[in-house]
């Protein structure tokens, strides 16, 4: 990991100076105003802090370090993690250096498995996964060095060391939870010769004769890596980390947010809807029948899961990447066929109905159907897979927040009476 650290050591002082100059020159200028409605509505759209790892454009979707997502869907998760941290894609030596660091920290400590074995048999996979992360908090380098009097200028390096070690273990932890929770047999040990996604596929133990499940996991873990700083999981992680809680605590906080049904559970709700369509029609319906089915659903007051985006004015590029993968590899599958047909039908129905101003699909409208095809049919495990990926973004944001000395998050709240009195 020395190559990665050296890049960051060169870039951190440059960005610190750039930010200091910005604050000195323009710190008094406003970047937005907050309305009473926003204060009561989850602060949606309020510009309140900076996140440089990624941004979400209404017209382009996810942009990672200035690069539109669709330009880099071919890269490995390890490469996107390097990009999130440094702003550049790794060269061959830098990628090998990071992979080697991951390979040193693949194994989950035995005491973690002992804890998970003693949890109730019907525990939610996310509860088990998050418990495993918290159980490893005693491994934190940041905490140990902080207790010894670490300098503020070294916070980022200890955060990075914790983050990389935690990330390296997540495929083994996630796969182990899957096999334990769903009675799939003994755990499978990691293989130091496999890439990050390949190890997950290896350890989860599902068949992959043609290697396409491996390629799907590379794509899935890359696509879910980050989504700017204001989503629930990223912001929760940011807030907890700002108190100088170590990455184990901070990632756990973020993942507790990701477990909520309005955030990380959406893909399974989308898949349930697709399967209900298949059951009703006995396979893939024709376009007119599906259109009428969607109209009836909207008229009854229900939504069409995965459609109607709050930000995007186009199809989520993550959705587009999954659709392309499905069309190339599983276009004969009925479940995917329904997903593909819904994309042709639903935006037009929503526009005509007026149910959604922005009727475009998000990533969840497609991802579940692909996981289902390759044998991951336990819906409540999907958020664990999401979590393995999204931790890359949380860690990257954390490293830079500690490098730049971002202070503790402490917005000012007001009371309803204050608003009534002052407006």
Nearest in space to 96 (alpha carbons), one of 231, 1, 29, 213: 1
382-403 and 125-135 helices cross at what angle (nearest 10)? 30
Q: Is the dihedral of CA 402, 407, 412, 413 positive or negative?
A: positive
Q: Give me the torsion for CA of 141, 52, 228, 372, rounded to 10°.
A: -70
Compute the half-sphere exposure of residue 28: CA atoms within 13 Å on the CB side of its CA.
2
d(CA 92, CA 200): 22
For 143-155, write each residue's pLDDT tens digit: 999 999 999 999 9
The domains found in the chain, sorted by start residue, are 266-373 (1.10.230.10)
pLDDT of the residue at 5: 96
Q: Write out pLDDT tens, residues 187-243.
A: 999 999 999 999 999 999 999 999 999 999 999 999 999 999 999 999 999 999 999
Helix, strand, coil shares of the chain as percentages rounded to 5? Answer: 60, 5, 35
Rg over CA atoms, the chain: 22
Per-residue model confidence as pLDDT tens for the chain (423 residues): 899 999 999 999 999 999 999 999 999 999 989 999 999 999 988 998 999 999 999 889 999 999 999 999 999 999 999 999 999 999 999 999 999 999 999 999 999 999 999 999 999 999 999 999 999 999 999 999 999 999 999 999 999 999 999 999 999 999 999 999 999 999 999 999 999 999 999 999 999 999 999 999 999 999 999 999 999 999 999 999 999 999 999 999 999 999 988 887 778 889 999 999 999 999 999 999 999 999 999 999 998 999 977 678 888 999 999 999 999 999 999 999 999 999 999 999 999 988 677 899 989 999 999 999 999 999 999 999 999 999 999 999 999 999 999 999 999 999 999 999 999
Which pLDDT belongs to residue 213?
A: 98
The answer to whether the CB of 340 falls within 8 A of the CB of 326 is yes
How many CA atoms lie less than 13 Å away from 232 in the CB half-sphere? Answer: 14
Q: Which amino acids are annotated catalytic?
A: 263, 309, 364
Task: Give the side-chain half-sphere CA count within 13 A for 276.
Answer: 11
């Amino acid at each position: 990991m020395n190559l990665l650290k050296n890049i960051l050591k060169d870039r951190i002082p440059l960005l610190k100076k750039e930010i200091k100059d910005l604050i000195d020159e323009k710190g008094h200028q406003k970047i937005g105003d907050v309305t009473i409605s926003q204060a009561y509505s989850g602060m949606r759209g309020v510009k309140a802090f900076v996140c440089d790892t990624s941004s979400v454009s209404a017209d382009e979707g996810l942009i990672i370090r200035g690069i539109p997502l669709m330009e880099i869907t071919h890269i490995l998760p390890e490469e996107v993690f390097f990009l999130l941290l440094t702003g550049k894609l790794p060269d061959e030596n830098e990628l090998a250096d990071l992979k080697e660091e991951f390979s040193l920290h693949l194994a989950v400590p035995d005491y973690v498995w002992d804890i998970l074995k003693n949890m109730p048999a019907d525990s939610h996979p996310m509860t088990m996964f998050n418990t495993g992360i918290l159980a490893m908090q005693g491994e934190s380098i940041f905490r140990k060095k902080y207790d010894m009097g670490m300098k503020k200028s070294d916070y980022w390096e200890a955060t990075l060391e914790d983050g990389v070690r935690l990330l390296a273990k997540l495929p083994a932890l996630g796969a182990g939870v899957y096999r334990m929770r769903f009675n799939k047999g003994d755990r499978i040990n990691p293989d130091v010769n496999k890439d990050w996604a390949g190890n997950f596929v290896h350890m989860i133990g599902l068949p992959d004769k043609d290697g396409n499940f491996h390629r799907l996991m590379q794509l899935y873990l890359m696509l879910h890596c980050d989504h700017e700083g204001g989503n629930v999981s990223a912001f929760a992680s940011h807030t907890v980390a700002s108190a100088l809680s170590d990455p184990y605590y901070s990632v756990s906080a973020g993942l507790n947010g990701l477990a909520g049904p309005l955030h990380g559970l959406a893909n399974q709700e989308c898949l349930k809807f697709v399967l209900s369509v298949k059951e009703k029609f006995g396979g893939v319906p024709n376009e007119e029948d599906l259109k009428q089915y969607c109209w009836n659903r909207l008229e009854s007051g229900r939504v069409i899961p995965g459609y109607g985006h709050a930000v995007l004015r186009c199809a989520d590029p993550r959705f587009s990447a999954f659709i392309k993968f499905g069309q190339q590899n599983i276009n004969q599958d009925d479940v995917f066929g329904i997903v593909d047909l819904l994309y042709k039908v639903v935006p037009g129905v929503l526009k005509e109905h007026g149910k959604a101003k922005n009727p475009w699909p998000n990533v969840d409208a497609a991802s579940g159907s692909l996981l289902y095809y390759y044998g991951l049919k336990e819906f409540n495990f999907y958020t664990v897979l999401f979590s393995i990926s999204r931790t890359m973004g949380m860690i990257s944001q954390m490293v830079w927040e500690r490098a730049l000395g971002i202070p503790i998050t402490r917005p000012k709240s007001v009371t309803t009476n204050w608003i009534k009195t002052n407006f």
